[in-house]
Amino acid sequence: MARFQTVIGRDMAPFASPIHLIDVAVANNRAEPFDACILGQVNGNTVFQFVSQVAPCHERGSVLHIRNMGIYEPMLLVITTSIHLLHHATIRIVFRDSSGEVLGMWSELNVEWTAS
């Protein structure tokens, strides 16, 4: 298994705005799909968690439909995969409102995974 974590701050996420959709994309340059667990925590409390299968060369990613969640403080983002990733990957997260308008985006290229 591999793990990546970072803190999403005010400059990356729409603090105090109602978020309706979260799009998460983890680039997979492997030949087979793998599962990824995406977890968001604020002050130690889980605000969202879901598992998605990441297909090879999957660009669009997973879409998490939530009910107008608001982020008011920095959020810990943890992504854990079902396999050990030896290579770097790209992660992209887009926060959207109920009409689909982009409220904020966070992207990290060449993420280095740690063994978990």
**What would the two tokens of residue 42 be?**
């604020």
Strand order in the sheet with 114-115: 45-54, 34-42, 75-81, 2-8, 114-115
* pLDDT tens per residue across span 67-102: 667 777 888 989 888 877 766 667 778 888 888 888
Q: Position 36: which residue type?
A: A
pLDDT surpassing 80 at residue 8: yes
* pTM confidence score: 0.72
pLDDT of residue 56: 64
Smallest CA-to-CA distance from 103 within 76, 66, 77, 78 is with 66
| Number of structural domains in the chain | 1
- 98 domain residue, yes or no: yes
Domain enclosing residue 94, as ranges: 2-111
Q: Mean pLDDT in the chain? A: 77
Q: Which two tokens stand for residue 37?
A: 């667990």
DSSP code of 72? -
CATH code: domain of residue 64: 2.60.290
Residue 116 lies in a domain: no
Residue 59 has pLDDT above 70, yes or no: no
Query: Over 70: is that where the pLDDT of 45 sits?
Result: yes
